Amino acid sequence: MRIGIVCYPTFGGSGVVATELGMALANLGHEIHFITYKQPVRLALLSGKIHFHEVNVPEYPLFHYQPYELALSSKLVDMVKLYKIEILHVHYAIPHAYAAYMAKEMLKTQGVHIPIVTTLHGTDITLVGNHPFYKPAVTFSINKSDVVTSVSKNLKDDTNRLFDIENNIHVIPNFIDLTKYKKQYADCGRSIMAADNERIITHISNFRKVKRIDDVIQIFHGIQKVMPARLIMVGEGPEKEPAEDLCQELGIANKVAFLGNSNEVDKILCYSDLFLLPSETESFGLAALEAMVNEVPVISSNAGGIPEVNKHGVSGFLSPIGDVDDMIANALHILSDDQRLEKFKQQARNQASIFDINYVVPLYEEIYEIAYNKL
Ligand code: GMT
């Protein structure tokens, strides 16, 4: 099929999932067209099967806000016609599902019919979509999509609870390529980051409030009181500076490395012993899955869809949101014994294999068939 994919091209999980999906579909023989404002960060290789079309929004002083949705829907119309794209798969309801619907209607007036698949990723529903200003537009665009998917059962339930949804929402979990990870490095360079006797704890996110970055620092603070350890913080966002200040205050700044955004997440996870994800909300927690596939057990909150990914007592432990003491106790339980740590590492990897890309991507192909047959 010729598939148009619309996503946020940034480091966020939804962009990563969309990009990995596009690349996997191209490997299966589909022709993929990414249509967004910047080349997706994880999109390494463009080829005859993978195209990127940039959406330009010309600056015009009259507009206080530049109309991205308008530019996107126009670009979708042009690209669908030019490349004979057969289906549009949009990741994130805001504003992608909305723009896709407008494109679909414009195309209809020109005798071109195209189905829309919308994948909900979480913040579009739980944080942003539920804002009263956006709610009518989000409800409308979800209901006008030919097929809607969500990345966890929890997100499906939230969407049905918060919005007046007429469509059945198909749950298709996020996925991981088991062949890409861990075993690819003979030496992942652990010695540069820590001494042999130190445990390496890692957190990766966009450093927004929902990630509870303070909790990450406090959990690490508790761990390093008991055993030698280092904390690696990967990502950029508004909570990064306050987190750096907190490390200074607690006197642990020399044990914490803030690395910024990275394209080498798997290399960092390769030398990590434990991953922290104490989020307030999380529809799935792709970062946790990426940790697990790299044999890194996860200490997380039990928010949203995380329990569908991280299994308590198996791939790590879950605690109530904000229960830092419980998270410290769980972390120490895993880290304090070499054999136990090794067992949790293997169990984390086994749990990750449930989300094997080879199992999940065909589910999207089935969804495309369903959407196509609705025309
Ligand atoms: O975690 C974020 O804030 C980024 C956000 C995004 O839109 O990329 O991630 C959401 O989608 C990911 C991929 O499906 C999920 O793994 C994350 O759990 C979800 N984030 C939230 O629900 C807060």
* Structural domain contains residue 362: yes
Read off the CATH number of the domain in which 246 is found: 3.40.50.2000
pLDDT at 184 over 80: no
Residue for token pair 């940790």: 291
d(CA 241, CA 243): 5
Mean pLDDT of 244-252: 98
Q: Is the domain of 333 the same as that of 367?
A: no
Are residues 360 and 347 part of one domain? no
Give domain status of residue 89, yes or no: yes
Total domain count, the chain: 2
**Would the CB of 155 count as within 6 Å of ligand 1?**
no
Give pLDDT tens digits for 67-76.
999 999 999 9
**Within-domain flag for 295:** yes
Residue of the nearest CA to atom 7 in ligand 1? 14
User: How far, in Å, CA of 204 to CA of 185, rounded?
Assistant: 20
Interval between CA 156 and ligand 1 midpoint (Å)? 14
> Are residues 168 and 21 both part of a single domain?
yes
Answer whether 134's CB lies under 8 Å from 128's CB: yes
Choose between 244 and 123: higher pLDDT: 244
The reply to whether 223 and 245 lie within a common domain is yes
H or E element, residue 98 = helix 98-108
Confidence bin at 189 (pLDDT 50/70/90)? confident
Strand order across the 116-120 sheet:
50-54, 31-36, 2-6, 87-91, 116-120, 147-150, 169-171
Residue 180 domain-assigned (yes or no): no
Burial of 19 (0-12, 13-18, 19+ CB in 10 A): buried
Q: How far is the CA of 211 from the centre of ligand 1 (A)?
A: 10
- Å from CA of 250 to ligand 1 middle: 29
Report yes or no on 57 lying in a domain: yes
Distance between CA atoms of 56 and 48, rounded to whole angstroms? Answer: 23
Contacts (Cβ under 8 Å, ≥6 apart) of 132: none
149 lies in the same domain as 252: no
Q: Is the CB of 152 under 6 A from ligand 1?
A: no
> Does the CB atom of residue 125 touch ligand 1 within 6 A?
no
Question: Residue 52: inside a domain, yes or no?
Answer: yes
pLDDT of residue 58: 83
Q: What is the distance between the alpha carbons of residues 340 and 355, in angstroms, rounded to a whole number?
A: 24
For residue 82, the SS3 value is helix
Closest to 104 measured CA to CA, from 118, 115, 119, 91: 115
User: Does 157 share its domain with 196?
Assistant: no
State whether the beta carbon of 281 lies less than 6 angstroms from ligand 1.
yes
**Same domain, residue pair 45 and 164:** yes
Q: CA 213 to CA 242: how far, in whole Å?
A: 9
- Are 243 and 113 in a shared domain? no
Identify which of 11, 136, 127, 6 has the alpha carbon closest to the alpha carbon of residue 75.
6
> What are the residues facing 52 on neighbouring strands?
34
Q: Is 204 in the pocket of ligand 1 (CB under 6 A)?
A: no
Decide if 28 is inside a domain. yes
Strands 169-171 and 147-150, by their bridges, are: parallel
Please work out whether the CB of residue 285 comes within 6 Å of at least one atom of ligand 1.
yes
**Would you state the pLDDT for residue 134?**
87
CA distance 25 to 29: 7
Q: Is residue 185 part of a domain?
A: no
Do 220 and 128 fall into the same domain? no
Instruction: State the distance from the centre of ligand 1 to the C-alpha of 133, rounded, in angstroms.
Output: 21
Do 162 and 291 lie in a common domain?
Answer: no
Domain that holds residue 204: 190-354
Same domain? 280 vs 369: no
The residue to mutate among 171, 236, 284, 360, having the most atoms of ligand 1 within 8 angstroms of its beta carbon, is: 284
- Does any ligand 1 atom lie closer than 6 A to the CB of residue 96? no
Calculate the average pLDDT of the chain: 94
Claim to verify: residue 233 and residue 96 sit in the same structural domain: no
